Structure 1
Amino acid sequence: MDETFLLMLSNLLHLHNSLDPSTSLLSPSSSSPQPASSPSPSSPSSLLSSSSPAPLLFFTLASILSFLASSSSLKKEIDDKKSRDPNSSPSPPSSSHFSVSAFRALSTDHIWSLDAPVRDAQWRSLYGLSYPVFTTVVDKLKPFIAASNLSLPSDYAVALVLSRLCHGYSAKTVASRSSLDPYLVSKITNMVTRLLATKLYPEFIKIPVSRRRMVETTQGFEELTSLPNICGAIDGSPIKVRGLNLDRSSMNVYKCKYGYDSVLLQVVSDHRKIFWDVCVKAPGGADDATHFRDSLLYNRLTSGDIVWDKVVTVRGHHVRPYIVGDWCYPLLSFLMTPFSPDGAGTPAQNLFDGMLMKSRSVVVEAIGLLKARWKILQDLNVGLNHAPQTIVACCVLHNLCQIAREPEPGPWKDPDESGAQARVLESEKQFYYFGESLRQALADDLHQRLSSR
């Protein structure tokens, strides 16, 4: 026993003597021989049978101190062993360290007593976003989760799913960490991602139709590129899907240009790297132009359902807001693409191509941030039927982070892509011819303005 425990025990003995001298363990009579038939005054039986409460108090306190001392000694022994053997592996963490009670202890009001940077950095490392943004997500989903009769609290269910999306954990891993059944984890993941992709999508992923937002977006792109009326940048990215059990006829359909099974994500981003359109409708083997033509956005633009009323005049051409894309997309009146992928155009055309690709870099960075924040998209481990909603859910969360100005991690870097120029369909001819004249007018105007500076 250590010295502190011995000192406390000695003090207790003195306290005991002062309260009940007749049974003093330190009295001279205690050392005198006693008849074999009579119990010693210092024996447990005589102390416990005494009419005074002091002996019972003494033994109770002494037992507690003994237990504490033995626990302290055991801890010290373990620490000494670790210091003697630094290579020894630490004990595996408890499987319940992500339990409901542990989460409750972490998320109670005391978290607001922490400095905001410390609090939010801790939360971000666990769930991919700061505590205020996390509570925003919970508040918006809580009514729908409550209506589902889920046996878990809403905030815990959201935290469980966000930890999976943020770190890319499988359902089995999350289940072992939270002491839940893997089937239940998959069910909760499916429910929360479906709610994010349906209930929160209309609020956080919106086509810029209002005048104020359109002006803000086009001005943001013009400050970046000197090109007027750009309202978005479009790009596609394959999302790797793990463990697809495909029949022979479907194997090549899902294999992307990089050689792995995937589904294709298409996004349109504004100048702040906020997505205003998301589409996941094509297998990884599809090309960007085909995916675009299958999207609701394409149908709305070609049918005239979306007509942006902000118009600028460039060299006699009325230019409405347009999006920009790379060589793999078709040139249309509402979609500008480069003249040439290798700088083979005129000086004006090459200058236009450089600025267009500069504006397009915004969406490339946005996709890189998306995959860096929600690592599950680097190697998706959900069923193929649930892949689209999981991807869209991550896009909603990405927008929440961008709107809240969450710190941007180092973006995930996809391999450089290349592809053939998209061919123009017969039904697109009038959009193509109009887009061709607009593109040339924009290039000539840009070249004249920048050359005169």
Structure 2
Amino acid sequence: MDQQFLTMLSNLLHLQNQLDPTTTLISDPTTPSTTPSSLLTSTSAAPLLFFTIASVLSYISTKSTTTKKRTKPSSPTSPNHFSINAFRALSDERVWRMDPSLRDAQWRSLYGLSYPVFTRIVDKLKPYIALSNLSLPTDYAVAMVLMRLSGGLTAKKVAKRYSLEPYLVSKITNMVTRLLSTKLYPEFIKIPNGRKRLQDNTTAFAEMTALPNICGAIDNTHVKLSSLPEDLANPNIYVNRFGYKSVQLQVVADHSKVFWDVCVKAPGAFDDATHFRDSLLYNRLLSGDIVWEKVVNVKGHPVRPYIVGDWCYPLLSFLLTPFSWNRTGNPAQNSFDEGLMKGRRVVEDAIGLLKGRWRILQDMNVGLNHAPQTIVACCVLHNFCQVAREPEPEMWKEPEESGPVPRVLEAEKSYYYFGESLRQVLADDLYQRLSSR
């Protein structure tokens, strides 16, 4: 029983004994049975008994109310739930003693990734954030930004949860996404030039498609913009063919759905080929700055590594596309198209995972000037999760591909003719191998 309650009750009984000594006779088991009945009652006992009962009931009522207030769980959306102290309670050494599956499920629901992956990201960002003299702890600030990116939340909503000013949330978001898209980009998004990585890549694609020396798959996706600046000179160039405002993200993915090239340059009204031709990757491939040394021989033709894309991209020696979009070619060409599209599916899945995990990409609610770095930051985080083998979230479903086949530019003609010849050789070789089985 509560010690405070026992002390109060003892004091009340002691007071009663002082005011009415006859009550001791009533409660004393050694009193002789011949005690006069008049001594068993008292004119002062009834009021004091009433006072005692009222005090006890009042105390119990007070304790019950206090206990309910103390045990009432805080709302998951209340500011206290996201305070630094609440975050510390989640992220200190006790979290490592939790069941890993329960712990990581909780972190994924809040921040889009597991606790161990979160700590590795914080460790990599901490040296750079330390230079900014941020008043908030690094892990707390990173968690806040990840919550915004994974939940697709506006700065105002995050500010309300964390009891901060919206401008401060925007400032911290810009800082963290800038660091991810610049300082961590070279480590997590890079062209597969190493012999082992290139070999692993081409081998995995060959098993998937039966086509030799594919080293990546390219695709384009639109990132919807919530708003545009009012003083924008030509806002119509951001309206895409689906009718909403967007900027474009071009990615090249390997067999494990990891991006090895990312480009965010074109507004929504541009087509995929124009975006590709404006990218650094295109110019490096066209100029020969990127040369993959791994060469295989197919029917007497040397085949260097190449990437695959759909019919919205130009056919080039380093980028092969399907013969047709509706299987209207001959049997060899249709077999090639089927294999190529199997390889291309990895980049579709990678984009679906990217937008499924970092939902801010479904409706970008940052300023236009900060949109590119936010998109690239999400791509870096995507690679971090893929390399760490994080469970894949529900994929975002992209709209069906459409658009005309791009025309061949004068500067591309030699690359086009070589690509056309290479594609036919690969198609004939594949069909021959399939027919001989």
> What TM-score do you get using the length of structure 1 for normalisation?
0.85
Counterpart amino acid of residue 444 in structure 1: D
Partner Cα separation in structure 1 for residue 176 and residue 382 of structure 2:
15
Q: Is the Cα contact below 8 Å between 1:233 and 1:363 reproduced in 2?
A: yes
Alignment partner, residue 70 of structure 1: 62
Residues 184 and 71 of structure 1, relative CA distance in 2, 3 Å threshold: farther
The reply to whether residue 30 of structure 1 matches residue 19 of structure 2 is yes
The reply to whether residue 154 of structure 1 matches residue 138 of structure 2 is yes
| Matching of residues 168-207 of structure 1 within 5 Å | 168-207=152-191
Secondary structure of 2:79's aligned partner: coil
Structure 1, residues 250-279: CA drift from partner, whole Å, max 9, x if none?
222001111110000000000100000000
The reply to whether residue 221 of structure 1 matches residue 217 of structure 2 is no
Counterpart amino acid of residue 99 in structure 2: D
Q: Is the Cα contact below 8 Å between 2:75 and 2:81 reproduced in 1?
A: no
Partner Cα separation in structure 1 for residue 6 and residue 169 of structure 2:
55
Partner Cα separation in structure 1 for residue 374 and residue 16 of structure 2:
74
Q: Is the Cα contact below 8 Å between 1:13 and 1:25 reproduced in 2?
A: no
Partner Cα separation in structure 2 for residue 91 and residue 146 of structure 1:
32
Structure 1 residue 97 displacement after superposition: 1.8
Q: Is the Cα contact below 8 Å between 1:333 and 1:432 reproduced in 2?
A: yes
Question: Sequence identity, in percent?
Answer: 67
Residues 246 and 350 of structure 1, relative CA distance in 2, 3 Å threshold: farther
Counterpart amino acid of residue 73 in structure 1: T
Alignment partner, residue 428 of structure 2: 444
Counterpart amino acid of residue 5 in structure 2: L
| Matching of residues 287-436 of structure 1 within 5 Å | 287-436=271-420
Alignment partner, residue 269 of structure 1: 253
Counterpart amino acid of residue 64 in structure 2: S
Counterpart amino acid of residue 308 in structure 2: V
Partner Cα separation in structure 2 for residue 176 and residue 350 of structure 1:
56
Alignment partner, residue 101 of structure 1: 85
Q: Is the Cα contact below 8 Å between 2:229 and 2:368 reproduced in 1?
A: no
Which 5+ residue runs of structure 1 have no aligned equivalent? 18-22, 34-62, 83-89
Alignment partner, residue 114 of structure 1: 98
Partner Cα separation in structure 2 for residue 78 and residue 129 of structure 1:
32
Partner Cα separation in structure 1 for residue 436 and residue 104 of structure 2:
49
Secondary structure of 1:208's aligned partner: coil
Alignment partner, residue 136 of structure 1: 120
Partner Cα separation in structure 2 for residue 104 and residue 31 of structure 1:
58
Counterpart amino acid of residue 187 in structure 1: K
Partner Cα separation in structure 2 for residue 220 and residue 258 of structure 1:
34
| Matching of residues 39-78 of structure 1 within 5 Å | 70-73=62-65
Q: Is the Cα contact below 8 Å between 1:234 and 1:268 reproduced in 2?
A: yes
Structure 1 residue 438 displacement after superposition: 0.4
Counterpart amino acid of residue 113 in structure 1: R
- Report the number of matched residues: 405
Residues 371 and 296 of structure 1, relative CA distance in 2, 3 Å threshold: same
Structure 1 residue 92 displacement after superposition: 8.5
Q: Is the Cα contact below 8 Å between 2:217 and 2:346 reproduced in 1?
A: yes
More displaced 10-residue stretch of structure 1: 204-213 or 240-249: 240-249
Q: Is the Cα contact below 8 Å between 1:194 and 1:393 reproduced in 2?
A: yes
Residues 66 and 113 of structure 1, relative CA distance in 2, 3 Å threshold: farther
The reply to whether residue 9 of structure 1 matches residue 1 of structure 2 is no
Secondary structure of 2:266's aligned partner: strand
Residues 298 and 13 of structure 1, relative CA distance in 2, 3 Å threshold: same
Counterpart amino acid of residue 25 in structure 1: L
Secondary structure of 1:122's aligned partner: helix
More displaced 10-residue stretch of structure 1: 200-209 or 70-79: 70-79
Q: Is the Cα contact below 8 Å between 2:225 and 2:363 reproduced in 1?
A: yes
Residues 397 and 418 of structure 1, relative CA distance in 2, 3 Å threshold: same
Partner Cα separation in structure 2 for residue 332 and residue 105 of structure 1:
56
Residues 304 and 78 of structure 1, relative CA distance in 2, 3 Å threshold: closer
Which 5+ residue runs of structure 2 have no aligned equivalent? 23-54
Structure 1 residue 66 displacement after superposition: 7.3
